[in-house]
Chain A
Amino acid sequence: DAGITQSPRHKVTETGTPVTLRCHQTENHRYMYWYRQDPGHGLRLIHYSYGVKDTDKGEVSDGYSVSRSKTEDFLLTLESATSSQTSVYFCAIMRAGGEYEQYFGPGTRLTVT
């Protein structure tokens, strides 16, 4: 257990509304990630962070933004939600030490109607 929580765990929202998902970790890991999981695609990286205020885009970043103002929190925002963003979102951290192991939160199921 890497002390990762996500909130909310479930959310239903309407097309065009902004949505923010939160990832919180308790172990001060430097690297944090946001993925989305869709059938047939495995996990796809949206954004990642390598420190406070240091973020970069992943494979599927269009329509998403992130912020990291504190080490423990990594926020994912959908500026204007669309039905194609209906998915399960996972946050992950990577432990230091050169082993490149990722540890995942429990996920947020987002439905955009």
Chain B
Amino acid sequence: GDSVTQMEGPVTLSEEAFLTINCTYTATGYPSLFWYVQYPGEGLQLLLKATKADDKGSNKGFEATYRKETTSFHLEKGSVQVSDSAVYFCALTPNNYGQNFVFGPGTRLSVLP
């Protein structure tokens, strides 16, 4: 079945450091890919998405590129801030409307001042 694998955390960085969180997936067909962010005590928020190969999703300084050849969707940010501390989830849906959304286990990011 479809699955998502994320790098294990926690990830601890200093403010203004470069961030990469790796995500790889297994899916048949052409899934849509997402990154969600969860701040303490809150629900998940959609951070960015990509719906086809070579698409780049971006939002709030975060970027991720849909790489079909490597089945990857790595999250990057050039300069993290303390306010970016959260748990980040990679997810996919096989685009069979309303059905299977698959989430990775999440990667906790802590940014130190």
Whether chains A and B associate is: yes
Mark A residues whose CB is within 8 Å of B.
Answer: 4, 30-31, 33, 40-45, 48, 50, 56, 90, 92, 94, 99-107
Of all chain A residues, the one with the shortest Cβ separation from B44 is A104
Contact in complex: B45, A42 (CB < 8 Å): no
Chain B residues with a Cβ closer than 8 Å to the other chain, count:
23
Q: A41-B105, A43-B89 are in contact. Are A48 and B44 (CB under 8 A)?
A: no
Which residues of chain B (67-113) have a CB below 8 Å from chain A?
A: 89, 93, 95, 97-101, 103-106
Of all chain A residues, the one with the shortest Cβ separation from B94 is A100
Q: How far is the CA of A101 from the CA of B103 in the complex (A)?
A: 13
Q: Could you say which residues of chain B place their CB within 8 Å of the CB of A33? A: 101
Mark B residues whose CB is within 8 Å of A.
Answer: 4, 32, 34, 36, 42-46, 49, 51, 89, 93, 95, 97-101, 103-106
Contact in complex: A99, B51 (CB < 8 Å): yes
Q: How far is the CA of A42 from the CA of B36 in the complex (A)?
A: 11
Q: A42-B104, A100-B32 are in contact. Are A90 and B44 (CB under 8 A)?
A: yes
Q: A50-B98, A99-B51, A104-B44 are in contact. Are A42 and B32 (CB under 8 A)?
A: no
Contact in complex: A48, B49 (CB < 8 Å): no
